[in-house]
Amino acid sequence: MKLKNKKVLVYGLGDSGRSVIKLLKSKGANVSFYDDDIRYFEYVGFERNPTEKEFDLVVLSPGVKCIGNKLLENFREKEIEIISEIDLAYLFAKGKIIAITGTNGKTTTSMLVYKILKASGKKVFLCGNIGLPFSAVVEKTSKDCVVVCEVSNFQLESSKYFRADVSCVLNVMPDHLDRHGNFEEYLKTKQKITQKIKSKDLLILNFDDFYAKRFFHKKCMYFSKKILKKGVFVKNNQIFVNKKPILSLNEIFLKGEKNLENVLASVSICSKFKVASQDISLAIQNFVPASHRMQNLGEINGVCFIDDSKATNLASTLACVQAFENEQIVLLMGGQGKSIEYDPLFEKRYNIKTLICFGKEGRTIFECAKKYDIQSECFEKFAQAVEYAKEIATKGDYVLLSPACASYDEFSSYVERGEKFKEIVLRQKL
């Protein structure tokens, strides 16, 4: 794509938007930007009336909602091309691209793949939804490098050109329905990862996931916790790549069934880059997951505290509770809801000793749990809920922060929420 002297509008000024502006300017484009947030109105380059100007191209940041967006409708009526941040980055990227998507497990899997490839001596970049935008690393890429890109549904929503040499779909479950309206639209967005796939590309799918395994391409590879004829699977407590055992499950220190799926996906991806079994095994054994993902904060007075603030949907919370189902659980849930049902969690009860709800969605969760006679309490504020959990938890209990909701009713992100949890947990009573 030739951009020199082209009039380009960047819509959305988050981290991705800033990286896009820098990339566009390096290509000689005339760049202006727009954001729905009034805090940016006084910034140099802000376009106050984008509908009154003519543009050759509009680049969307992931945070911009597409459905029902009147400004985007205006651009489409004018037949102005609209692309995503990952589209722009893809058009200028060199080397091999790995795209990892799914409702849950994207970050852990992306980090695992990055660590394994790095350990094998490859030149590798980690970017995307994980923190550093794809557009921020694209100028550093070369023909001999590998780009590991975590791709969210927000990035795929407006995607038009993006494709990867290896794409992996971990799972697909109801999430972000507040943005997409219904599960069917969310599913369609996830399927866009296959829209530009070529015959030489590889699509890796979770055979155990009802929706993920239905994404199809003639060059597919499956991974499973069950025995498969070929692919990556578990047999006799070992992970096999086709007929070759490469790793014992006893060597994996990540907790829970979902993390096992993340490991299987990582092995599947790296096996296609001819990484030695020893490099895969050592990287997985030494892997430390990112913060706020079933992170053990330690034991205080015999009570273990787990920070799973990243669990912003029910599937993540289910995975966390299942990972600790042999323990007595004090569960903290709540925040900003996503129009989901909570019955699948409570109808099986697991080992939930006490449920403590908080935030905007707290009362809804509380009322659902009552139907199943689960001991529950409800608080307006997050801090109140955590303090109560500390107060009632007894020796041998596991206090799990696994909210199943977004954080935006009280916090700027799940990270801030997790850090607040840690602060309160570690705070000593005077």
Domain match, 98 and 41 both: no
Number of domains in the chain: 3
Domain match, 275 and 307 both: no
With respect to residue 231, please indicate whether it lies within any of the assigned structural domains.
yes
Q: How far is CA 11 from CA 36, 40, 83, 136, 387, in A?
A: 9, 12, 10, 17, 41
Domain match, 126 and 239 both: yes
Domain match, 199 and 235 both: yes
What DSSP state is assigned to residue 72? H
Lowest mean pLDDT among 42-51, 153-162, 366-375, 404-413: 42-51
Domain match, 104 and 213 both: yes
Give this prediction's pTM.
Answer: 0.82
Predicted local confidence at residue 339, as pLDDT = 84
Predicted local confidence at residue 179, as pLDDT = 60
Domain match, 279 and 300 both: no
Residue of higher predicted confidence among 38 and 301: 301
- Kindly report, residue by residue over 81-99, the tens digit of the pLDDT: 999 999 999 999 999 999 9
- Kindly report, residue by residue over 138-192, the tens digit of the pLDDT: 999 999 999 999 999 889 988 999 999 999 999 998 665 566 567 888 888 888 8
With respect to residue 318, please indicate whether it lies within any of the assigned structural domains.
yes
With respect to residue 84, please indicate whether it lies within any of the assigned structural domains.
no
Q: In what order do the strands lie in the sheet with 145-150?
A: 123-128, 145-150, 96-101, 166-169, 202-206, 220-224, 232-235, 238-241, 244-248
Of 36, 58, 79, which marks where a domain is finished? Answer: 79
Other beta carbons within 10 Å of 428: 5
Domain match, 64 and 99 both: no
Indicate the burial class of 161 (C-beta count within 10 angstroms; 0-12, 13-18, 19 or more). Answer: middle
With respect to residue 2, please indicate whether it lies within any of the assigned structural domains.
no
Domain match, 169 and 301 both: no
Query: 């608080």: which residue's tokens?
Result: 379
Residue 73 belongs to domain with CATH number: 3.40.50.720
Predicted local confidence at residue 181, as pLDDT = 61
Domain match, 226 and 162 both: yes
Q: What is the mean pLDDT of residues 220-224?
A: 96
Q: Nearest-CA neighbor of 223 among 236, 209, 244, 211?
A: 209
Residue 304 belongs to domain with CATH number: 3.90.190.20
Using a pLDDT cut of 70, give the percent of the chain over it: 97
Residue 123's DSSP bridge partners are 145
What is the Cα–Cα distance from 178 to 147, expressed in whole angstroms?
31
Q: Which tokens go with 85?
A: 């941040």
Domain match, 135 and 272 both: yes
Predicted local confidence at residue 430, as pLDDT = 37
Domain that holds residue 245: 89-285
Checking if the pLDDT of 429 tops 80, the result is no
Q: How far is CA 247 from CA 208, 281, 350, in A?
A: 20, 6, 30
pLDDT band at 28 (very low <50, low <70, confident <90, very high): very high
Q: What is the mean pLDDT of residues 186-214?
A: 91
With respect to residue 36, please indicate whether it lies within any of the assigned structural domains.
yes
With respect to residue 215, please indicate whether it lies within any of the assigned structural domains.
yes
The sign one gets for the Cα dihedral 152, 348, 234, 207 is: negative
Residue 257 belongs to domain with CATH number: 3.40.1190.10
With respect to residue 190, please indicate whether it lies within any of the assigned structural domains.
yes
Q: What is the mean pLDDT of residues 403-428?
A: 95
Predicted local confidence at residue 243, as pLDDT = 87
Distance of alpha carbon 149 from the chain centroid: 11
Domain match, 216 and 343 both: no
Predicted local confidence at residue 37, as pLDDT = 84
Domain match, 299 and 236 both: no
Of 16, 50, 79, which marks where a domain is finished? Answer: 79
Checking if the pLDDT of 54 tops 80, the result is yes
Predicted local confidence at residue 176, as pLDDT = 57
Of 28, 50, 79, which marks where a domain is finished? Answer: 79
Q: What is the mean pLDDT of residues 271-283?
A: 91
The three state secondary structure string of 75-87 is HHHCCCEEEEHHH
Q: If you write DSSP's letter for every residue of 245-281 in order, what string do you get?
A: EEEEGGG----SHHHHHHHHHHHHHHHTTT--HHHHH
With respect to residue 1, please indicate whether it lies within any of the assigned structural domains.
no
